[in-house]
A and B are shown apart, each in its own frame.
Chain A
Amino acid sequence: MTTIELRNVSRWYGNVVAVNDVTMSIEPGVTGLLGPNGAGKSTIMHMIAGFLPPSRGELTIGHGSSWRNPDVYRQVGLVPERDSVYAFLTGEQFVVSTAKLHELPDPAAAAARAIALLDMAEAADRKIATYSKGMRQRIKVAAALVHDPEVLLLDEPFNGMDPRQRLHMMDLLDKLGSEGRTILFSSHILEEVERLSGTIQVVVAGRLAASGDFRAIRRLMTSRPHVFTVRSSDDRLLASTLIRGTPIAGTLIRDTSAGRPAVTAVELTRAGLQVRTSDYGAFCRDIAVLARDHDIRLREVLPADESLESVFAYLVAD
């Protein structure tokens, strides 16, 4: 069981502060490092991974520092964000060579195990240059896992993956976390974190904005209404249905966490409906069912202000 500790860690580049006085403890299990682009997630990841020294503060993995300490990689696996792998090698050669660099007693067996874990056995003898972005991401994870590390760091691991690959990766990380490994992944996509992580660290503008159980923080986030623009074949009927529901049970969209109606306001405009809802997921899922039940054809459902920046700004303002 290995814990990552950051105590009053700051990192600046000249006059620009990238990470400001962050204190966090990342325990065994899966932890999501969440924040909008440019928030400082990668800087924190790089410092934890030993590729950037903190300008101030203390950072440890287990009992040692990761900066200028290659021995730390015996217990740490790293999946960098940058899509840079040795494209001239086959997937198997890449993972086997990583196993050799870790001086494992049986590199071939360790590589076969890691490749199978990532469901890459069929493509293992192909050159990485021929892989899709999602496959490259998976072979990078296989290489990071080849030495069975206690700690796995993944920087935006779901980039480029298709939905099936994402689900597979999420299940794998979930399994690794439940085995007692410390898994830290960064993401700017709320839904990825929602699906995977019980614990999150939210970083906004270089500061730790929230830390702890995902559901509690998500409730804070979802208490802010989401705004959608909806166009349909019958906006007026859809508006009344969204607000009033119908006598048919189950047709009123409900906030999954609060149990109350999720749609809080509907405005009929020339561009269509402006709908305010407290539950992003429930609204996206149920509006299609509601429309079908009332013979309404949906032409457009667009989140009007769903940028993470605005969500995080709301969270920080709270």
Chain B
Amino acid sequence: MFNTTVAWITLRATLSRRRALLFALPAVILILLTVALKASHPPMQLWPSHVLGTFGFSVLIPLTALIIGTSVLGAEIDDGSIIHLLATPVRRSAVVVTKFVVATGLTVVFAAVPELIAALISGGGSVPGPGDAGLVPIGAGSFAVALFTGALACAVIYNAVFVMVSAATTRAIAVGLLYVLVWEVLLSNFVSGVKLLSVSHYGLGIANGLASDPALEAGLGVLTSVVMGAIVTVAALALAMNLLSSFTLKGEPA
């Protein structure tokens, strides 16, 4: 299913576009924000969970995955170069899976790893202790590992969705941006029922399963998050494969 030549071309194509300069932008903002908050706040605060959890999972990771996920397939469809891949015996399913793996790998580098670094810089989260015990610290290491694991899951699921969106429409960036801002940022944080279909909450659910940090405000349990995340990933990739198998070039009407 994984084709190394497709992966090599995809990686070269993705990193050679001007859009690649944007990959690191959300991560740089997150790390600078973390450094500023760390410098300006005393220890034992809830901000690391809010900033790295809510902001990181519903803004940083989806935006990074959107830019990357739509680059690996959508940009090639836009400029027509995809035809050189598709006019070969390589299965369309292999093209989708390979591009998805490349996009996920890049998103891990540009979003999940920065989450890990920011979590380590923050010194770890703090949770309210029992009774009047005040805030109890979570070690930076376990907090960072939990967030990194949740971010990995988000990178996988978001990229499956954005690769599918790229195969479905030539306006993948606009559709993806609308989805992130309306669904993931707005509705999933204010309408409880939407959490079941929110990728950021799958990631938060998995991170919370490891860190047991209520300040992450995970709306779903770890098991639900894993199962729903797997279903969404498989369904999105299956749909993307089917769409790419029916990829058409439009001729001019008479």
- List chain A positions with a Cβ less than 8 A from chain B: 11, 13, 16-20, 37-47, 49-53, 68, 70-71, 73-74, 76-78, 80, 82, 84-86, 88-89, 94, 97-98, 100-103, 143-144, 205-206
Contact = CB atoms under 8 A, between A and B. Distances in A.
Given A11-B251, A53-B246, 10 more contacts: A13-B253, A18-B254, A39-B254, A43-B253, A68-B246, A78-B83, A78-B87, A88-B12, A101-B89, A102-B89
Contacts of B245: 68
B250 A13 contact: yes
Interface residues of B, number: 31
Contacts of B3: 101
Contacts of B250: 13, 46, 52
Nearest to B91: A70
B81 A85 contact: yes
A71 B254 contact: no
A18 B249 CA distance: 13
Contact of B251 (A45, A101, A103): A45
B92 A70 contact: yes
B51 interface: no
B231 interface: no
B interface, by DSSP: helix, strand, loop or mixed? loop
Most buried by A among B88, B92, B245, B252: B88
A254 B13 CA distance: 56
B89 A71 contact: yes
23 contacts: A13-B253, A38-B253, A39-B254, A40-B254, A45-B251, A46-B248, A49-B249, A51-B249, A52-B250, A70-B91, A70-B92, A73-B87, A73-B88, A84-B81, A86-B13, A86-B84, A88-B12, A97-B5, A97-B9, A98-B88, A101-B88, A101-B89, A205-B254
A43 B16 contact: no
A84 B79 contact: yes
B83 A80 contact: yes
Nearest to A84: B80
B90 A101 contact: yes
Contacts of B80: 80, 82, 84
Contacts of B83: 51, 78, 80, 82, 84
Contact of B12 (A16, A74, A89, A101): A89
A103 B88 CA distance: 9
Given A101-B88, A102-B89, A43 B13 contact: no
Given A88-B12, A88-B13, A143 B84 contact: yes
Interface in B66-117: 79-81, 83-92
Contacts of B89: 70-71, 73-74, 101-103
A28 to B, nearest CB: 21
A40 B251 contact: yes
Interface string B1-23: 00101101100110010000000
B32 to A, nearest CB: 31
Nearest to A41: B251
B247 interface: yes
Contacts of B254: 16-20, 38-40, 205-206
Nearest to A77: B87
A44 B249 CA distance: 11
Interface in B38-54: none
A16 B90 contact: no
B4 to A, nearest CB: 8
